[in-house]
Amino acid sequence: MRVLSPRLHGYLDIVFIVCFVVGPLAVGLGGTPALISFLLALALLILILTTRFPLAIVKKVPFVVHGLIELAMAIFVALLPRLGGYAPGSPARGFFWTMAIGLAIVWLLTDYRGEVPSGSQ
């Protein structure tokens, strides 16, 4: 069930960027977990600014490739607690798993092959 349009997906990407920037501050993450989160926000910002969909500026990356990159990002974020050695119950583990679940849900609900209006390409 792919119900999210490219435009709505872009708005949700902006929400994820804000969450990756504000989230570590809100849950008290510092050091490496916070840095990783900020870098993920930057990567997602670059991705939305370069994807061929309504919110982009450069429009080079096909929307399907955008989806594949986000899927890889969701998997990476889900594996971060294990890769980073974050203990069960730690704020970093909970934060990254929550973000991974959110990214995965948006990925599952987005119609990556949907029509992008011709004025947006």
Q: Please state, in angstroms and rounded to a whole number, the distance separating the CA atoms of residues 37 and 28.
A: 12
Residue 120 lies in a domain: no
Contact 59, 69 (CB under 8 A): no
Which domain range does residue 33 map to? Answer: 6-112
Residue 118 lies in a domain: no
Report residue 96 as tokens: 């990254």
> Number of folded domains in the chain?
1
CA end-to-end span of the chain: 25
Residue 48 lies in a domain: yes
Residue 39 lies in a domain: yes
Residue 121 lies in a domain: no
Residue 97 lies in a domain: yes
Global pTM reads 0.88
Residue 58 lies in a domain: yes
Contact 82, 15 (CB under 8 A): no
Report residue 85 as tokens: 């050695």
Q: What is the pLDDT along the chain (121 residues), one digit of tens a residue?
A: 688 999 999 999 999 999 999 999 999 999 999 999 999 999 999 999 999 988 889 999 999 999 999 999 999 999 999 998 888 889 999 999 999 999 999 999 998 886 555 444 4
pLDDT of residue 117: 52
Residue 1 lies in a domain: no
DSSP three-state, residue 13: helix
